[in-house]
Amino acid sequence: AQKITQTQPGMFVQEKEAVTLDCTYDTSDPSYGLFWYKQPSSGEMIFLIYQGSYDQQNATEGRYSLNFQKARKSANLVISASQLGDSAMYFCAMRGGFDIPNTGNQFYFGTGTSLTVIP
């Protein structure tokens, strides 16, 4: 079974500071992908960053970076230089089954972390 755990229901960060959102996962798939999505109050799900299980380097996308520790099964999102527009729910997700042809590979989501950026 695949499982994503986000243990921080809510986080606060000062504007311009960095913040780390925690995510741990559990899977028996040898090949999988880890994702972070942002959901602002408008409700849409915005793709932020992706990390493949075989990627040698941690993924970065602008102010977002993913701190991937495979042995610990963690995939924490780091947001640098927080902005007021970063206030939103953040979801960690995982997809597996990449090496099994003709099988489904749905996303498994964590429960999310609500981030509030304080001016």
Partner 1 sequence: DSGVTQTPKHLITATGQRVTLRCSPRSGDLSVYWYQQSLDQGLQFLIQYYNGEERAKGNILERFSAQQFPDLHSELNLSSLELGDSALYFCASSVESRGREAFFGQGTRLTVV
Binding site for partner 1 (CB under 8 A): 33, 35, 37, 42-47, 50, 52, 91, 95, 97-98, 102-109, 111-112
What 8-state DSSP symbol labels residue 84? G
Of 68 and 91, CB closest to partner 1: 91
CB of 109: closest distance to partner 1 in angstroms?
4
b/e code 85-100 from CB counts within 10 Å (16+ = b): ebbbbbbbbbbbebee
* Closest to 40 (Cα-Cα) out of 8, 84, 4: 84
Give the shortest CB-26-to-partner 1 separation in angstroms: 16
Q: Which is nearer to partner 1, 39 or 87 (CB)?
A: 39
Tokens read off for 57: 């380097």
- Rounded Cα gap, residues 74 and 93, in angstroms: 12
In the bound complex, what is the minimum distance in angstroms from residue 81's beta carbon to partner 1? 25
Query: Nearest-CA neighbor of 28 among 94, 93, 75, 109?
Result: 94
Shortest distance in whole angstroms from residue 39 CB to partner 1? 9
Decide whether 40 or 81 has the Cβ nearer to partner 1.
Answer: 40
* Cβ distance to partner 1 smaller for residue 68 or 82: 68
